[in-house]
Amino acid sequence: MNKVYSESGYLLIRKFLNDSEVSKLHTILAEFHRLWQKDNATYYAQSAVNSAYLTNNQHLNDKQRQVLFDFIGSDTVMSVVNELIPKQPCFLNTQLFFNPVNPKQSNYWHRDPQYHLSIEQQKSALSAPDVIHFRLPLLDEPGIELVPGTHKRWDSTEELNVRLEQGGHKNNQPLSQGKIIKLEAGDLLIFSANMIHRGLYGLDRLAFDILFCQPDPSVIQFISNDTLPSAEALTSIENSHAFDNAIKLKFE
């Protein structure tokens, strides 16, 4: 598993969750999405394609949050996390991905770090500690398109021009090395945040992302305190290792 991920930057596990597990998550996250839309109506209507910080207490009650904490810290999830990040894996964040309101809104190629790092810093990030997405579609969806191997190499001329919209290019143009991965409810797609990728809109897209990282201060700084479980919430979590590490490093 680690070898496949290390070489390509992604890993796909079909039918990772059964129908009951998907349904349980969908019930809670659909409610989060409904309340989030209400509180972010303008942004949602204009351009939004994702929300974040699902485990804070703004939209979900303690019981609902506990379900998410228990799932993230389950042996099922953490057994995979520990294979990919064997030393001190840390919980970083959660996100929910959905279709834009405007059906004509284009998706876009990107690397996650491009939104807070310069070009030179983005290059350096390719050899820095990794941030890993665990994407769990709750409904069948078109999936994601990615460029395998770009978690460890810099953009080709074509990729850089499209990703950064240079020389008249647009960031929704096809890339010659792009690979489409269609996803069904219950699948698990694991991919590096450094990788060049884009979400594919359509169908009833609703995908739950859990982000894990290595214990590096440059990444730990992005953990939001109110998304972490309380001491009481930790007691019922099957494998709280990633939460424990995040809490320890965040408050050292």
Residues 6+ away with beta carbon under 8 Å from 161: 167, 169
Count of domains forming the chain: 1
Give the model's pLDDT for residue 180.
Answer: 98
pLDDT beneath 50: ranges in the chain: none
Confidence at residue 168, expressed as pLDDT on a 0 to 100 scale: 97
User: Is there a domain that residue 53 lies in?
Assistant: yes
**150 in a structural domain:** no
Task: Map residue 94 onto helix, strand or coil.
Answer: strand
Judge whether 202 lies within some domain. no
Alpha helix segments (H runs only) across the chain: 2-8, 19-39, 41-46, 62-72, 75-84, 119-125, 157-163, 217-220, 231-234, 241-251
Average pLDDT of the chain, as a whole number: 96
Question: Could you give the C-alpha distances from 135 to 48, 162, 181, 252, in angstroms and in order?
Answer: 18, 24, 12, 30
Q: What is the pTM of this model?
A: 0.96
CA 202, 146, 56, 77 torsion-angle sign: positive
67 domain-assigned: yes
- The answer as to whether 238 is a domain residue is yes
Residues in CB range of 229: below 8 A, 6 or more apart: 55, 65, 66, 69, 237, 240, 243
Burial class (CB in 10 A: 0-12, 13-18, 19+), 85: buried
Q: Which domain does 96 fall in, by range? A: 2-103+134-145+180-195+211-251
- Is 247 a member of any domain? yes
120 in any annotated domain: no
Q: Decide if 109 is inside a domain.
A: no
Return the pLDDT at 250. Answer: 86
pLDDT of residue 241: 97
| Residue (of 94, 133, 90) closest to 246 by Cα position | 90
